[in-house]
Structure 1
Amino acid sequence: MINENISKVRENIVKSCEKAGRNPEEVTLIAVSKTKPVSAIEEALLSGTLDYGENKVQELCDKYDVLPKNIRWHMIGHLQRNKVKYLVGKTYLVHSVDSLRLAEQIEKEFAKHNQVCDILVEVNIAQEESKFGINAKETEELIRKIAKFEHVRIKGLMTIAPYTEDPESNREYFREIKKLSVDIRDKNIDNVSMDVLSMGMTGDYMVAVEEGATMVRVGTGIFGERNYNI
């Protein structure tokens, strides 16, 4: 069932790319494996999917220890500064950097090991009080400060759009953050690229792809409903 679901999601990504005149190879599918057992990821691996998203550092580390080392682990949940040290050498991309203090901690911990951490700056594009992320108007200023760090490399932006039954209602937010990423890219800030735009989840990833997403984060659409009681 998991592999069938992945095939369906990939087909939908191709359809959305065709509609938008994009190359499907520009879009990376991140299977959001949070709360899911190792066996589910092992099944998903059979489809060739290598990008997995986790919300909690401990769960990411536990899975890293027992699963193949060619997996690309994405930290997509809110990241506490005291947990950053555990991600060194294990994370492919941190999607959820939303403050200078967090970026400073990443710089400090990765510098100890002479490694560079690729990150996305999380933007609360819809300005929802319940969500993490910085205000769109503050994004460029934060990026310019983080860009000075030697062991942190900004690859783009991430957002979590509002939960909705109607994916079309999020199109405006996807367009806004796409425009923001283009505006920042055009500033040509050293140590900053805007190659990655992480947006779109199970309910709205097709619209996100149409509006320029280069990474979509799909959990329920691949693994089914989550079990938060484990």
Structure 2
Amino acid sequence: MNTELTQTPNLNDAVTIAMSERIVRIKDRMAQACARVGRDPSEVTLLPVSKTFDDQAIRRAVSLGYKRFGENRTQEIAQKTPLLADCDIQWVVIGQLQTNKAKDVARLAHELQSLDRLELAEALDRRLQLEGRAIDVLVQVKTSPEETKAGLEPTGLIPFLKQISGFQTLRVKGLMTMAILSEDESAVRRCFAQLRQLRDQARQEAISGIELDRLSMGMSGDFELAIEEGSTEIRVGSAIFGARDYSA
């Protein structure tokens, strides 16, 4: 990866124009999904997921008006931060996080969307106190039966929210999930509907210090179903940036 700051891409170059056109198509699909269920498109935001994409690709998205970017690994954030220091980017950690990475999140991230256990919350709180910072967090809930999917078990959500309500460094803003990878749309939809229902149940508890206005659910392959089931933010990578190259 290039270690020198690169210039903001020309809005009129072919690659940036292609990215802009892809985003327009995504926005149109978002609006159509909202229309099908009577929602206002302004209720749903688009989070570009920049994992594996280089700093130049991110600069193109910045030139199109985006400042928040989702990343799975704190190592990538650490590599990209100095290259994009002039862009005022807000990094959003969306990947499963090991406790020993809490120090990196506390130092580099604006938001964590994959908080799923008390041990991690405690580690983050300690590190954030040392940094003198607070960050937004979403609690990740496991709504898919797949063993590969991470997250808090649904039955543990309300007790967990009560446990972390006292952490002043963690501003709990909502919930996140990843749906089952399936051709069965009803199975995918059930994952999203379950998260919305869990949010509604948790709201009834009126836990002090806990806000549950946000539902982060839906990715490149299923975001329309997620929007129809109440998503307030979709996480989209390849549909914006193009195909990923994992060889590096």
Runs of 4+ off more than 4 Å? none
- Alpha-carbon distance in structure 1 between the residues aligned to 2:186 and 2:56: 34
Percent identity over the alignment is 37
For the residue of structure 1 that corresponds to 2:92, the secondary structure is strand
Report the structure number with the largest CA radius of gyration: 2
Which residue of 2 is the match for residue 57 of structure 1? 74
**Aligned counterparts of 1:168 and 1:2: Cα–Cα separation in 2:** 31
Q: How many residues align?
A: 230
Which residue identity lines up with residue 58 of structure 1 in the other structure? Answer: Q
Query: How far apart, CA to CA, are the structure 2 residues paired with 1:194 and 1:56?
Result: 25
TM score, norm. by length of structure 2: 0.88
* SS of aligned partner of 1:213: coil
Specify the alignment match of 1:79 in structure 2: 97
**Residues 106 and 117 in structure 1, CA contact (< 8 A), matched pair in contact too:** no
Query: Would you say the 8 A contact 1:164–1:203 is kept in 2?
Result: no
Q: What is the Cα deviation at residue 167 of structure 1?
A: 4.0
1:215 aligns with 2:233: yes
Q: Deviations over 1:46-101 (max 9, x none)?
A: 22122211000010122222224432211000111111112225322101111100
Distance 1:166 1:70, change over 3 A: farther
Instruction: Determine if contact 2:220/2:235 at 8 Å carries over to the other structure.
Output: yes
Q: Which amino acid aligns with 1:209?
A: I
Structure-1 residue corresponding to 2:4: none
The answer to whether the aligner puts 1:183 opposite 2:237 as a matched pair is no
Over aligned residue pairs, what C-alpha RMSD do you find? Answer: 1.4
Question: Cα deviations across residues 192-219 of structure 1 (Å, max 9, x unaligned)?
Answer: 0101101000110011011111110111
Please tell me the residue identity of whatever aligns with 2:58. Answer: I
Tell me the TM-score normalised to structure 1 length: 0.95
State the match for 2:55 in structure 1: 38
Please name the residue that 1:47 is paired with.
64
Q: Secondary structure at the match of 1:133?
A: coil
Q: 1:39 to 1:165 in 2, by over 3 A?
A: farther
Task: Name which of 206, 223, 232 aligns with 1:205.
Answer: 223
- SS of match in other structure, 2:137: strand
SS in 2 for 1:88: helix
Q: Is the 8 A contact 1:174 1:199 kept in 2?
A: yes
Task: Supply the distance in 1 between the matched residues of 2:25 and 2:186 (Cα, whole angstroms).
Answer: 20
Residue segments in structure 2 that go unaligned for 5+ positions in a row: 1-17
